A = this chain, B = another copy of it.
Amino acid sequence: MVPRYSRPAMTAIWSPETRFGIWFEIEAHATQKLGELGVVPESAAKALWDWWATNPTIDVAAIDAIEAVTKHDVIAFLTWVAENVGDEARFMHQGMTSSDVLDTCLAVQLTRAADILLEDLDQLLAVLKRRAYEHKLTPTIGRSHGIHAEPVTFGLKLAEAYAEFSRCKTRLIAARADIATCAISGAVGTFANIDPRVEQHVADKLGLTVEPVSTQVIPRDRHAMFFATLGVIASSIERLAVEVRHLQRTEVLEAEEYFSPGQKGSSAMPHKRNPVLTENLTGLARMVRAAVIPAMENVALWHERDISHSSVERYIGPDATITLDFALARLTGVIDKLLVYPERMQKNLDRMGGLVHSQRVLLALTQAGVSREDSYRLVQRNAMKVWESDGELSLLELLKADDEVTAALSPQQIEEKFDLDYHFKAVDTIFERVFAD
């Protein structure tokens, strides 16, 4: 976790206090049900909840000190609770194994993290939608291979991002469900010393489903899928960030990250206004993706479990969720305040001497009876001249002066092909597809 790439709500999920608090709730809920089932005195859960109602400060240092001796974190925690609650606490954890607590706690933390990320996505989607409609018909050049292709609208670019992050949301909802399970099944998952109804009770209280069959641990394919999904979302962030970086290039400058008063782009060059937020997002995407392979390597635990996954999760649990939360929020801010320059977009559109209309002429020639190969050749030979003139020459004029072309198409027919609006007639259709619902 790097503080500058962290936001408080997500970070709080991963604090020792939060973790111990969830542990307590798991133990207390379990003890409650054990009491109802007559396995332990009903007074035990009462003692636990009564103490909890006093809103006790969780003494992380004290628990850590006990762990330094026992080398076992859950035992350290139970010991500390027992010191505070007293004798009734000995009924806690009856028939359970540490992983019941740890893994169910991780499920709670990851679902809470997913909920924040889903909110982040909703906010991003709202901003994308607003700005997409704002620029629904703002013409801009579409580029393939970094080369001018044909006109699109800036709203379409944002609609694409909206559709992509909508998919990300669907995927995250599925991934959240995948890790939202509770296991209270004892040492090797057989419920040997604990009734499955305890698991159901704890699951219900924590908003989880029961794990159908666990070993000592909740199976790690669930977590692998979760972190893989975060990696995909991060990659979508990278895509939009890279788009902004391209648009802000000096020679393009069709859009720009908001530049705040007092900000300095460079210690040496006072003229700089750099797309540092989206460059940063590009790097953060790499880091969220870095969690994916370790999470997958965690799946093949030995037999009923080994603990190799644990250290990995101590890193990637906080890091991937905190970083992705920060990145989504940062991206939302970038899009929200993005400076968009329609006049510059038009200027860029115009700079290639009308090359962006080459395909329409090609099609018109074909429809006028010229073979596809000849049509291509005719258009290409004029287009290359425009290209080599760096847009000084006009494709329209050259075509009108090309006898082979005019043998098939009249000047007026050619001119009709150089109409920008022609390209935007399906924008409504696309927006309906993307934003319907």
Contacts and interface: CB of A to CB of B under 8 A. Distances in A.
A275 B307 CA distance: 9
Given A294-B286, A434-B212, A235 B299 contact: yes
A352 B270 CA distance: 13
14 contacts: A75-B264, A142-B188, A143-B304, A145-B275, A150-B186, A150-B187, A171-B174, A189-B430, A192-B360, A228-B232, A250-B351, A276-B307, A284-B311, A292-B293
Contacts of A146: 245-246, 248-250, 274-275, 302-303, 306
Contacts of A239: 221, 299-301
A225 B171 contact: yes
A133 interface: no
Contacts of A253: 390
Contacts of A75: 264, 267
B186 A268 contact: yes
A142 B192 CA distance: 12
A7 interface: no
A379 interface: yes
Contacts of A284: 311
A90 interface: yes
For A188, A274, A356, A434, the residue with the greatest tally of chain B CB atoms inside 10 Å of its CB is A188
A221 B164 contact: yes
Interface in A15-74: 69-72, 74
Interface in A399-437: 422-427, 429-430, 433-434
Contacts of A344: 390
